Amino acid sequence: MIIVLKPNPTDAQIEHVLERIAELGLTPHISRGVSRTIIGVIGDEQKLQAEPLQAIDGVEAVLPILKPFKLASREFHEADSVLEIKGVRVGGGHLAIIAGPCAIEGEAILFEIAERVKAAGANILRGGAFKPRTSPYSFQGLGEEGLRILQAAGDRFGMPTVSEVMDPRQVELVNRYADILQIGARNMQNFDLLREVGRTRKPVLLKRGMSATVKDLLMSAEYVLSEGNRQVILCERGVRSFEDSTRNMLDLSAVPNVKGQSHLPIIVDPSHATGRPDLIPAMALAAIAAGADGVHVEVHTCPEKALSDGPQALVPEQFARLMDQLRPLAELVGRTIDTCESVPV
């Protein structure tokens, strides 16, 4: 941590800063220059972050040096983390191809979608039973009945499943049915919820918040990891921006950016990022080329009758065409796509 003092600090001000640092059991290094005096403090930055040194009279800026996350960092765990969910590996060269409808709407339709995405090459089935909707008057999901249907579809077609959990009180229930617990963008900083899924032993799919920095995303992963659950998959799904022709702005640079700092797998959701079926396939391919550990694509057999987010879903034919392009690309960049069958469970 580096403390920059305002121009012409008094001796009393300097003394006061040095004292506060000493109170914390740390050793300061002072450098007096012509136009500025700076104080370097190298040591347990975690301890200093709790101290609002910026509020001290005469301090102009406090510049942190160390990263504020630990368990999520590459320094802590140098190799890529590889998760294995019912035989499907994610990370370290293995791609998660997550597909399915936004919301679970009924057994017949989910089974049909599951069969189609499995045939096209998806290896994980998604579907929401609890839906975060902007309007209280919109369809809010089927709840436990939906989870039961999702589990049945996963079993029937040999795919592990992922479903969103929105409320700490739902964690036990969703944990009973789904193979991966999803934290949605709106809940990325719902810290009590992060702690609760951190106490399970299920993989957590953590989506980036709509205005979260990459550092914020890693700090939220740290909440889950710090509870003892080391199975976190990050998901870039676009952030809010001024561009009004797409739903969000997909920040693909987050993929290599995360990989440089963290061992956690990161996948990309081009469906929520763009909100436009005409852009989804290009962005899914770009994600794989950028090094993502998978994609998350909404697929619906009849988008115009979907109860949630229909306009951004691919139809199964479009998804199959995307997979036909994605497979050779994955091979070119040395990635494999596991299926339940392809790996000994």
Under rule CB under 8 A, which residues in 79-108 are in contact with a second copy?
none
- Hey, what amino acid is at 323? M
CB of 38 to a second copy, least distance (A): 5
Query: Which residue in 340, 257, 267 sits closest to 95, CA to CA?
Result: 267
Interaction mask 17-46, a second copy, x per CB under 8 A: ---x--------x-xxxxxx-x-x-xx-xx
The residue among 150 and 185 lying less far from a second copy, judged by its C-beta, is: 185
Selected from 210, 301, 320, 339, the binder of a second copy by CB under 8 A is 210
Given the rule CB under 8 A, which of 93-101, 148-156, 218-226, 229-237 is the region that contacts a second copy?
218-226
Distances from the Cα of 281 to the Cα of 12, 29, 113, 172, 187, angstroms: 62, 54, 18, 35, 27
Give the 3-state DSSP-derived string for 45-77, with helices as H, strands as E and coil as C: HHHHHCCCHHHCCCEEEEECCCCCCCCCECCCC
Given the rule CB under 8 A, which of 67-75, 105-113, 155-163, 336-344 is the region that contacts a second copy?
67-75
Selected from 253, 324, 341, 342, the binder of a second copy by CB under 8 A is 253
Q: Cβ contacts of residue 195 below 8 Å, gap of 6+?
A: 168, 223, 224, 227
Interaction mask 106-145, a second copy, x per CB under 8 A: --------------------------xxxxxxxx------
CB of 223 to a second copy, least distance (A): 5
DSSP H or E segment with residue 175: helix 171-177
Pairwise CA distance, residues 11 & 73, whole Å = 39
Selected from 291, 301, 320, 343, the binder of a second copy by CB under 8 A is 291
The residue among 42 and 119 lying less far from a second copy, judged by its C-beta, is: 42
Chain centre to alpha carbon of residue 44: 28
